[in-house]
Amino acid sequence: MTTSPPALLIAGHGSRDDGGADALRALVRLLGERHPDVPVAGGFSGDPDSPLSLDGALDGLVGRGATRIAVIPLLTAPAGPVPDALSAVLARAAERHPGLVLARGTELGPHPALLDVLERRLDEAMGSGARRPADRAGTTVLLVGRGAADPHANAEVARAARLLWEGRGFAGVETAFVSQAAPDVPAGLDRCRTLGTAAGSGGPDRIVVLPYFVLPGGPVERLHMQAEGWAAAHPGTDVFGATVIGPEPAVADVVMERYHAALAAAPLRDGVPGAGRAAAEDARPAHGAAAVAAGTGER
């Protein structure tokens, strides 16, 4: 019976950006330092030109002796093509490595620790001189997600926006999406401005565009370019751009929560896949944490 803990594979999606790859490597190093007993690797699925392949990262863990791997999607919300891209990686791994056992956990979601990091990113974007309650009361936040064809996935971004707004003193937190869903970033900024005008203030004092992404990359660059174009066309409104969450210790903690939840839902015994659902500590409905063994197909 194997007593060493299952390995951890962090699954990013669709980035060919070197900055995103560097940030993922930093997160892998951080997790390795904090949990030296757990083999950790990370990569991206969904883009064959990614500088950090998820297939290669998984093969690397197997090469280090891993026979059981928990896979955690490094996403703040579900996204359209992501499950299929990740499923393809796991299916290929099952063919290459007979006997390998895998459990897929849930995305990170609007965990309270990540909401706290988002709040810090908002403060950083506004600057050290704009942190009084009155400053927040004049600030509207546009939380921008990746976007998906599935409305239930997009609803998770709206839920995060509500949780971010509660008790933090901002005038409002609206949502927008980079692709596949409405509103897009310019339309979201229009809505922020219109709501401020309807409230009798003539528009918000400032709008902060906040990426709902863990890592930098192409979608984040696009949303900032769209925000800059809108700001140039509306010189009477101050628009600030915040940075992504990044490889923070809080992210490492949430990843490990998802790792342990996936293992609790689908215990990985050599050659015997478990089954179940991964629980999320923020009390959101859990997405399936499917266990996969070579030759059995996917749950």
pLDDT tens for each residue of 35-51: 999 999 999 987 777 78
What is the reported pLDDT for 254? 98
Q: Determine contact, residues 224/241, Cβ cutoff 8 Å.
A: yes
Nearest to 206 by CA among 117, 138, 283: 138
Q: What are phi and psi of 131, to 5 degrees?
A: -120, 10
pLDDT of 273 strictly over 60:
no
Which residue reads 């984040």 in tokens? 220
292 — pLDDT class (breaks 50, 70, 90): very low
What is the reported pLDDT for 100? 93
User: Which is it for strands 139-145 and 206-211: parallel, antiparallel or unpaired?
Assistant: parallel
- pTM of the predicted protein model: 0.85
270 — pLDDT class (breaks 50, 70, 90): very low
Please tell me which of 171-175, 261-265, 267-271 the model is most confident about, judged by mean pLDDT: 171-175
The correct answer on CATH 3.30.930.10 for the domain covering 7-108+247-293 is no
For the chain, the structural domain boundaries read 7-108+247-293, 112-241
Question: What is the rounded CA–CA span in Å between residue 157 and residue 163?
Answer: 10
112-241 has the same fold as 7-108+247-293: yes
According to DSSP, the residues that pair with 139 across neighbouring strands are 206
Structure tokens that stand for 291 in this block: 């266990």
Structural domain 112-241, CATH architecture = 3-Layer(aba) Sandwich (3.40)
What is the reported pLDDT for 15? 65
pLDDT of 216 strictly over 80:
yes
Question: What is the rounded CA–CA span in Å between residue 66 and residue 209?
Answer: 41
Among 7-21, 75-89, 153-167, whose mean pLDDT is lowest?
75-89
What is the reported pLDDT for 86? 87
Q: DSSP readout, 252-264?
A: HHHHHHHHHHHHH
